[in-house]
Chains A and B, each alone.
Chain A
Amino acid sequence: MSPPVPSKILTDDVSLLMVLIDSNPHFWSSIKPHFSFSKFLSHVLAFLNSILLLNQLNQVVVIATGINSCGYVFDSSSGSVSQRAESLLPKLEEFAENDESLSERDDDSGNGVGSSLLSGSLSMALCYIQRVFRSGPLHPQPRIICLHGSPDGPGQYVAIMNSIFSAQRSMVPIDSCVIGIQHSAFLQQASYITGGVYLKPQQLDGLFQYLATVFATDLHSRNFLQLPKPVGVDFRASCFCHKNTIDMGFICSVCLSIFCKHQKKCSTCGSIFGQAQTRDPSASQQRK
């Protein structure tokens, strides 16, 4: 892996940045008139290079989020010399090929943009970070930044929440930069719970400026910098049975799984729910 870092130079602001790039082709083709993938890439590459310039010991790892798979496309610490971000391009191309080959059939329907595998790339990022943690007592401070645009897939709710909680436990902040049209409830929750920054840029052609101003700040400096905060967080959950987003439902009192309809038995933990005692459905709770 990387050569051992001498202790004297590892200052407070050395960071390990895990960048999750949304490579959902449906999303990019739907947004084409406003913002193209190539412009997006140019902003992101400039940003990655500047991160590597900020500190000699900074590390950047890029993971591409496709619709069928996720993969590592760039690791700045691989190889003997720190690489420039442009070297991710061939790998990204490869990844796109691979992802395409995994598509089941030629989907001509094209109504609505599918969601990309955010949960997969979050998990991969967290695994990489865990490996860094175990590599020795001295390591840069990791954080994750999601450049995401695809809509949320309610089916990934459970997996994403699990990744968020493990990120919270390992004290890894998840920053979100949403380049799509709508806000992402999952990423809002992720940033809120882990203490990261959530931002939806108003002007996408100024993306580099947003990235450099807000997301390039290392964790140590965030203690005394004021970063933009979202006005509110959407705490809605998806039900476990149909994966619909709901705000009022039933909750199993044993494992806290969420259901939209009254069930006889909890599908997660198997506990059997008793008969409702009164007319008033006392099992219904309002989820905030």
Chain B
Amino acid sequence: MADKQQQVVVKRARHKSSVKDPGTPGVLKMTKDRFTFMANDPSSPVKLNVEFRTIKGHKFTKDGTKQALLNLTQDQGGNYIFEFENFPDRNVCKDFVASAIALSGEAGRTVPEKSAVPIQDEQLSAAEMERRIKLLQEDSDLQKLHKQFVIGGILSEAEFWATRKKLLEQNYSRRPKQRVALKNDMWSTKPLADGQSNRVTFNLTPEIILQIFAEKPAVRQAYLNFVPNKMTEKEFWTKYSRAEYLHSTKNVIAAAAEAAEDEELAVFLKQDDMLVNEARKKIRQVDPTLDMEADEGDDYMHLPIQDHGLPRNDNKDVLDSQYEPYRRSFSQHLNQHAAVVLQGRVIDVELGDTRSVAEALARTKHAELAKDASDVYLDKERLERISRMTEIEDLQAPRDPAVAPLSIKDPRDYFDSQQANAFSTLGDTVSGAKQLKCSVSTREAYCSLKECISEIKFQGLTEPTINSEVAFKVLNGLAQNISSNKYHLGRNPNESILDSLPKITREELLLHWSSIQELLKHFWSSYPITTKYLLTKATKLKDAMSQIYPKLQEIKESVQSDLRHQVSLLVQPMLQSSVFMDQAFCCRL
């Protein structure tokens, strides 16, 4: 960025307090982070030394006006106006200022990260650094972890990124975001007609040229053929514009007359055969079960005189058939335009050079054609589609039953283990299990079972099956159960305790969880401790872990009393892990 530019710019300028002020002459010197102005006259009070960080914007007068001014605006409203001797000088300063402002703006943001990414033992390329910074900027969780460990000095940069190579690579190869689509407004055939003279001006920009080439393959082909052999580009477009003008006047007879005279013009005025072929091909790819009677009219071009049902005045319709090819229908044009816009940009070429655009489009179209022609499977695919749409269910062979896909659960679902809850409900009954003794022998047991069955067989079912009071009690109990569960567990049965905590607490807990995981990962990877480096690393990790311990206690205390028990259950494994780590570290010797 700034490498290409000069580091320092020195120019003669006048500092003005306002535009009308004649100003004090002096020398303006600009470096990357500040600019200074020294007046020629040593006694003058005007001395400036301003950092670019405070400058938020710059304004300038246009080239060719009376004064070459550059106005640097500050955030609080102050500004510095400089007048230069000539425009080139001013432009050099202007460019320098622009890049300096951009750099200082970025520096404000990236200064903390830049200082946090010290180049230690690794040779990091600038691209790598940029990638890391970008990744940190995007993922705030990652940034917090990074801040905690790398800036806290617990882990080194290399270790932190060692396990995250995949993330970096992914980021790197990501494509740029949205691209601008083609414009939807059709090139207006209402040219700027100058009321006084008989001139009609058409404006053609590279965008418009791209769209013309995309919509009208005949024009593109003509361009490739005629330019630069038969005529220059300007002549080509003049002729094209003339053709458009003729079309806009809807004077078919005049169009025919001119086409007869000028061969090249005729190309623009006649129907587009290439378009016709394309349309035919598209029709063939329509769903085969859709009943379409395909005939000549299905190529946009050969349409009955009654233009898509829009009634026209009958007296105009009786025209000689020789004029038929020169008739153009607006709806055809609109359809083709819509199809092109929806397809979007198919080529990636710079729009400046018309010829290359035309060639690129031609190449794409050729490639498509070639693919279709050589696609042996196209017919086969069509047949398959037909058979799929018209299948008769009764004649199908039995298909394998549907199965649920393998579901790998997110470990966070089990984060709050409900095991302790289950224990508390089971606890009173676990002891009860032992009490269930069967003091009867097997034979007797079976006997009583069979007796019961025959009892029912002979007596039939009891009437009523169930006592109404009992039924009422049961229903009440169920309703209470369901509503109290809803109250405690929330509507969603899978809603966890985490969600019922305030957001900050939740974030903190999750952050602690992920930091503990990170610490444990690095801790166990440094085992067995054989070198001094590993020892220091393990010590650092252990200390960091012991710091998290009191923080977790704090969180436990800060939670509401009714949630405290559940939160302590959540936090317990985290506390245990810190204890284990301590023990492991002590036992290593």
A residues sitting closer than 8 Å to B (CB atoms) are 23, 25-32, 36-39, 41-43, 45-46, 86, 89-90, 92-93, 96-97, 99-100, 103, 106-108, 110-113, 130, 133-137, 151, 168-171, 180-183, 185, 188, 201-203, 205-210, 213-214, 226-229, 231-236, 247, 277-280, 282, 286, 288
Contacts of A171 in B (CB 8 A): 402-404
A180 to B454 Cα, complex, angstroms: 23
A41 touches B442 (CB 8 A): no
Closest Cβ–Cβ distance, residue B250 to chain A (whole Å): 59
Taking chain B's interface residues, is the majority helix, strand, or loop, or is none over half, making it mixed? Answer: helix
Contacts of B346 in A (CB 8 A): none
A96 to B446 Cα, complex, angstroms: 7
Given A29-B440, A110-B438, are A232 and B421 also a contact pair (CB < 8 Å)? yes
A-B contact pairs, 13 of them (CB 8 A): A23-B449, A46-B465, A100-B442, A110-B437, A110-B439, A110-B440, A112-B438, A170-B403, A183-B429, A231-B425, A232-B425, A277-B527, A278-B527
A38 touches B452 (CB 8 A): yes
A42 touches B474 (CB 8 A): no
Contacts of B434 in A (CB 8 A): 112
B421 touches A231 (CB 8 A): yes
Contacts of B488 in A (CB 8 A): 231
Contacts of B482 in A (CB 8 A): 226-229
Q: Chain A residue with minimal CB distance to B477?
A: A202
Contacts of A28 in B (CB 8 A): 445, 448-449, 452
B433 CB-CB contact with A under 8 Å: yes
Closest Cβ–Cβ distance, residue B114 to chain A (whole Å): 39
Shortest 5 CB-CB distances between A and B: which pairs? A232-B421, A232-B422, A25-B445, A133-B401, A206-B474
| The stretch of B172-180, B193-201, B579-587 that contacts the partner chain | B579-587
A228 touches B478 (CB 8 A): yes
Contacts of A185 in B (CB 8 A): 426
Contacts of A279 in B (CB 8 A): 584, 587-588
A151 touches B436 (CB 8 A): yes
Identify which of B404, B438, B485 contacts A168 (C-beta below 8 A).
B404
Contacts of B481 in A (CB 8 A): 228
A93 to B453 Cα, complex, angstroms: 7
B561 CB-CB contact with A under 8 Å: no
A218 to B470 Cα, complex, angstroms: 24
Contacts of A37 in B (CB 8 A): 448-449, 452-453
Interface residues on B, range: 35 or more
A46 touches B461 (CB 8 A): yes
B422 touches A113 (CB 8 A): no
B527 touches A181 (CB 8 A): no
B436 touches A113 (CB 8 A): yes
B residues sitting closer than 8 Å to A (CB atoms) are 393, 396, 398-399, 401-404, 414, 417-426, 429-430, 432-446, 448-450, 452-457, 461-462, 465-467, 470-471, 473-475, 477-478, 481-482, 485-486, 488-489, 493, 524, 527-528, 573, 580, 583-584, 587-588
Closest Cβ–Cβ distance, residue A196 to chain B (whole Å): 12
Closest Cβ–Cβ distance, residue B188 to chain A (whole Å): 55
Given A41-B452, A182-B430, A233-B422, are A26 and B440 also a contact pair (CB < 8 Å)? yes
Q: Chain B residue with minimal CB distance to A207?
A: B466
Given A277-B528, A280-B584, are A97 and B450 also a contact pair (CB < 8 Å)? yes
Given A38-B452, A210-B474, A233-B422, are A280 and B401 also a contact pair (CB < 8 Å)? no
A288 to B430 Cα, complex, angstroms: 19
Contacts of B430 in A (CB 8 A): 182
A231 to B421 Cα, complex, angstroms: 7
Contacts of A36 in B (CB 8 A): 452
Contacts of B587 in A (CB 8 A): 278-280
Contacts of B418 in A (CB 8 A): 231-233
A206 to B482 Cα, complex, angstroms: 18
A31, A86, A183, A188 pick with most chain B CB within 10 angstroms = A183
Contacts of B417 in A (CB 8 A): 235, 288
A90 touches B419 (CB 8 A): no
A247 touches B419 (CB 8 A): yes
A86 to B493 Cα, complex, angstroms: 38
B524 touches A29 (CB 8 A): no
Identify which of B423, B473, B489, B524 contacts A206 (C-beta below 8 A).
B473
A261 to B448 Cα, complex, angstroms: 43
Contacts of B473 in A (CB 8 A): 203, 206
Closest Cβ–Cβ distance, residue A68 to chain B (whole Å): 10
A100 touches B466 (CB 8 A): no
B443 touches A100 (CB 8 A): yes
Given A209-B474, A282-B524, are A38 and B456 also a contact pair (CB < 8 Å)? yes
Closest Cβ–Cβ distance, residue B462 to chain A (whole Å): 5
B436 touches A90 (CB 8 A): no
Contacts of A137 in B (CB 8 A): 393, 396, 398-399
Q: Chain A residue with minimal CB distance to B489?
A: A229
A30 touches B401 (CB 8 A): no
A12 to B452 Cα, complex, angstroms: 37
A29 touches B444 (CB 8 A): yes
Q: Chain A residue with minimal CB distance to B401?
A: A133
Contacts of B437 in A (CB 8 A): 30, 110-113
Closest Cβ–Cβ distance, residue B422 to chain A (whole Å): 4
B583 touches A280 (CB 8 A): yes
A62 to B404 Cα, complex, angstroms: 26
Contacts of A31 in B (CB 8 A): 436
B448 touches A208 (CB 8 A): no
B440 touches A43 (CB 8 A): no
A169 touches B403 (CB 8 A): yes
A51 to B85 Cα, complex, angstroms: 99
A209 touches B475 (CB 8 A): yes
A45 touches B450 (CB 8 A): no
A171 to B444 Cα, complex, angstroms: 41
B441 touches A108 (CB 8 A): yes
Closest Cβ–Cβ distance, residue A20 to chain B (whole Å): 16
With A134-B401, A203-B470, A228-B481 given, can you name 18 additional A-B contacts, CB distance below 8 Å? Answer: A25-B442, A28-B449, A37-B452, A38-B452, A45-B456, A46-B465, A89-B456, A93-B454, A103-B446, A133-B401, A180-B436, A206-B471, A208-B465, A209-B474, A231-B418, A232-B421, A280-B580, A282-B524
B489 touches A134 (CB 8 A): no
Contacts of A169 in B (CB 8 A): 403-404
Contacts of A207 in B (CB 8 A): 466
Closest Cβ–Cβ distance, residue B473 to chain A (whole Å): 6
A228 touches B436 (CB 8 A): no
B456 touches A213 (CB 8 A): no
